[in-house]
Amino acid sequence: MKTIPVAEFKTNFSAILKEVEKGEKFVISYGRKKSTIAMLVPYESTIDAPKRKLGLLQEKGASMEIMPDFEISDEELLNEKL
């Protein structure tokens, strides 16, 4: 996995896409502090990704379902404190 600044990403976009096509992953950084803002990964790697396990309660028969009417705005999602 390579970390590159956004300016380099913009300048070498086509070459980077060719590397991603070959399986390389890129972390994109931005600003003076070089904060990581995004990751570019091959599309195929996301299709076969294993599903996340529920955790400790899985063995106790717990389940989770997100209802179709569940809504969260982009602003709420971005401002969520982790």
Can you give the pLDDT at residue 60?
76
CB atoms under 10 Å from CB of 26, counted, come to 19
Spell out the residues 6+ positions from residue 25 whose beta carbon is closer than 8 angstroms to its own. 1, 2, 39, 40, 41, 42, 45
Can you give the pLDDT at residue 51?
67
The answer to whether the beta carbons of residues 28 and 9 sit under 8 Å apart is yes
Q: Distance between CA atoms of 35 and 26, rounded to whole angstroms?
A: 14
The overall pTM is greater than 0.75: no
Spell out the residues 6+ positions from residue 67 whose beta carbon is closer than 8 angstroms to its own. none
Can you give the pLDDT at residue 49?
65
Low-confidence ranges of the chain (pLDDT < 50): none
The answer to whether the beta carbons of residues 24 and 3 sit under 8 Å apart is no
